[in-house]
Amino acid sequence: MLRLIRTATLAALRSDLDAARRDRDDARTDAATANDSAIRAEDVAETQLRQLAQAHADRLRAEREAARAEGELTALRAQSLLDTEDRAALRALLRTARKARADRVYVLFRLGELHSIHASHDAAEAAAEAQGAPRDGWTTLPPGAALPPAHQVPWRVQSLPLHVD
């Protein structure tokens, strides 16, 4: 069986075939471009994710640094307050010594922290007893004996030499 095709029909079919091939090539080019764009977008997304992770790590590090700095600031403020209190106590000690013209003062400690300064041992004990120390709780250690840790002793009177210029 033979089929006869006219030249015009054959030319039209060839033209349609060429158009289909051009459409196919255009579609392949578009697909390649889309594929390249998708790869670039994926690379950009991965880069942004890495940058986001780095920014998050930097933020956490900055928060830790800020917390540490805040803690240091609080400690420094507390130390400054203690230094101020120590200076006030030393001024009181000097005033007491100047008034008494004594060569010793008696310092009262509560759990290892300076409580007050007195001209006599009895005055220091009386001040501690006024704050709730038991009257029969005072002991004397022999010279050279090891002292228990200061924070373990509720009340302690310590005699200190005084040199006033």
What pLDDT digit, counting tens, does each position of 2-15 carry? 777 788 888 888 89
pTM: 0.41
Write out pLDDT tens, residues 45-84: 899 999 999 999 999 999 999 888 888 888 877 777 767 7
Write out pLDDT tens, residues 114-144: 888 887 888 888 888 898 888 877 776 777 7
Q: What pLDDT, on the 0 to 100 scale, is given for residue 143?
A: 74
Q: Could you give the C-alpha distances from 80 to 49, 76, 87, 129, 135, in angstroms and in order?
A: 46, 6, 10, 30, 35
Helix, strand, or coil (residue 155): strand
Any idea what DSSP says for residue 36? Answer: H
Q: What pLDDT, on the 0 to 100 scale, is given for residue 120?
A: 82
CA proximity to 101, closest of 88, 119, 113? 119
Q: What pLDDT, on the 0 to 100 scale, is given for residue 161?
A: 81
CA proximity to 138, closest of 150, 161, 152, 121? 121
Q: What pLDDT, on the 0 to 100 scale, is given for residue 21?
A: 94
pLDDT at 28 over 90: yes
Concatenated DSSP letters for 80-149? HHHHHHHHHHHHHHHHHHHHHT-SEEEEEEETTEEEEEESSHHHHHHHHHHTT--TT----PPTTPPPPP
Q: Could you give the C-alpha distances from 150 to 21, 75, 88, 108, 113, in angstroms and in order?
A: 97, 21, 22, 12, 8
Q: What pLDDT, on the 0 to 100 scale, is given for residue 100?
A: 63
